Chains A and B, each alone.
Chain A
Amino acid sequence: MTHMHIPDGILPVWLWLSGFLLMVLVLAFSLYRLRGMDGKRKIPLLGALSAAMLVTMSLEIFPIAYHLNLSVAAGILLGPSLAFVAAFTVNLMLALLGHGGITVMGLNTLLLGAEAMLGHTLFYLLPDRLDTFWRAALATVLALFLVSLLLIAIVGASHVDVQTFGHTHPPEALPEAEHPGAGSPALSTFAVMVLSLGAVGWLIEAAVTGAVIRFLSRVKPDLLAHVLHKDTCAAHAAGGRK
Chain B
Amino acid sequence: MIDVARIDHWAANGTGPFHRASVMSKLFFLFCVVAAAVLSRDPAPLAAAIGMLIMLAILCGLPWTTIGFLSLYAAVFASVYAVSLRGGGRIAAVVLLKAVTPAYAAGMLIVSTPYPRIFSFLSAFLPEVLSAGLFMTYRTLFILLDMMDNFATAIRLRGGFTPGNFLKNGSNFAKGIGALLVRAVERSARLYAVMAVRGYSGSMAERSIGTISRNDWLPAGAGISILGLALWWN
Contact = CB atoms under 8 A, between A and B. Distances in A.
A146 interface: no
Interface in A47-82: 47-52, 54-56, 58-60, 65, 68, 70, 73, 77
B144 interface: yes
- Size class of the contact patch on chain A: 35 or more
A78 to B, nearest CB: 10
A208 interface: yes
Contacts of A211: 170-171, 174-175, 177-178
Nearest to A180: B88
B188 A47 contact: yes
B173 A208 contact: yes
A95 B106 contact: yes
Interface in B82-134: 83-88, 90-91, 93-96, 98-100, 102-104, 106-107, 109-110, 118, 127, 129-130, 132-134
Contacts of B42: 166-168
B9 interface: no
Contacts of A59: 1, 148
B135 interface: yes
Contacts of A102: 30, 34, 102, 106
B188 A48 contact: yes
A216 B181 contact: yes
B77 A8 contact: no
B184 A8 contact: no
A24 to B, nearest CB: 11
Given A9-B38, A166-B91, A181-B88, 15 more contacts: A40-B201, A43-B132, A45-B188, A48-B140, A50-B136, A50-B137, A97-B73, A100-B74, A103-B38, A162-B87, A166-B41, A166-B90, A182-B91, A211-B178, A212-B174
B43 A166 contact: yes
A44 to B, nearest CB: 4
Interface stretch (B17-25, B154-162, B190-198): B190-198
Interface of A: 5-10, 13, 27, 31, 34, 39-41, 43-52, 54-56, 58-60, 65, 68, 70, 73, 77, 85-86, 88-90, 92-93, 95-103, 160, 162, 164-168, 178-182, 185-186, 189-190, 193, 204, 207-208, 210-212, 215-216, 219-220, 223
A8 B86 contact: no
A6 B81 contact: yes
A41 B93 CA distance: 48
Nearest to B39: A9
6 tightest Cβ-Cβ pairs between the two chains A and B: A47-B136, A5-B77, A98-B103, A211-B174, A7-B99, A215-B178
A69 B83 CA distance: 24
